[in-house]
Amino acid sequence: MSSIIPFSFESTEIRAIANDQGEPWFVAGDVAEVLGYGHVPHMTRLLDDDEKGVHNVDTLGGEQEMTIISESGLYACILKSRRPEAKVFRKWVTGEVLPALRKTGRYAIPVEPAITPAQQRQLQNAIAARFPEGKQRPYAWSRFNNHFGLGSYKQLPGAKTEEALAYIAQLPGGEDATTRERQARELLGLARFILSVDHQGRMQLKEIPHDAYVLPVNQWPDVIANEPLAEADLLNMLTAVADRLSPWVRKQAAARRLTN
């Protein structure tokens, strides 16, 4: 079989593969989406063995083995679909795809012209305006290409320029995110935080006072002995220690009386 030939039916991509005899086979998942089948197996189980097969298809995630169906299998799926779009899809296949097949002896699909250099500049300007910081733009272009299924934005069909500009305008990030990021950095610069993890692995970020000490218990004596602490703080510490030790002192005193 030849390589994948993509074409579009009402903005849904339908991928086709021509076999050695020039007969078209279609990616079953694409057909199932148009015809309203929830799962590909629900659709292909209706077909004979010679009307379905598998083929390795290049995707954004790498090469994947996908189910494909023949021309006769496609008709069978269309006839059994309950979606109103099925009738439109059938007319599109019989009115455009099949005449091209009969005329040329091979599966030939018109390719939409890609965007012009002027349209490319429109997209570039839109990305630059949305993401003033240059370091954010590679990420933006990556999201753009993934959304439209492109290897490069220059492959975008010219007819989709307005749709592409609208997509860029609503991309998360850009100037608003930059402002929020700067404000967050300023907030962190004015405050101190401690990150704690409980026994279940849940993390909590807590703000602590500027003059707070965060240290293990075994380091407290060094801090009390050497740090310039206020007398009031030292008195509070001494009171807390005395209160904590008083039960232990009473137990020790009672034990001594019993032994005497």
Place of tokens 């299998």: 73
Mean pLDDT value of segment 202-207: 76
Question: What pLDDT band is residue 165 in, cutting at 50, 70 and 90?
Answer: very high
| pLDDT tens digits for range 223-242 | 777 777 777 777 888 888 88
**For the chain, give me the number of helices (H) and strands (E)?**
11, 7
Domain spans, the chain: 5-104, 117-176, 217-259
119-124's contacts with Cβ under 8 Å and 24+ in sequence apart are 119/156, 119/158, 119/161, 120/153, 120/154, 122/161, 122/165, 123/153, 123/156, 123/161, 123/164, 123/165, 123/168
The percent of residues in the chain predicted with pLDDT above 90, rounded, is 10
HEC letters along 145-159: HHHHCCCCHHHCEHH
At 107-163, the pLDDT tens digits run: 455 556 888 989 999 999 999 888 887 778 888 888 888 888 777 888 889 889 999
Q: The tokens of 199 are what?
A: 């026994």
Q: Which residue matches tokens 């500027």?
A: 210
Which tens digit of pLDDT belongs to each residue from 2-16? 566 666 777 778 887
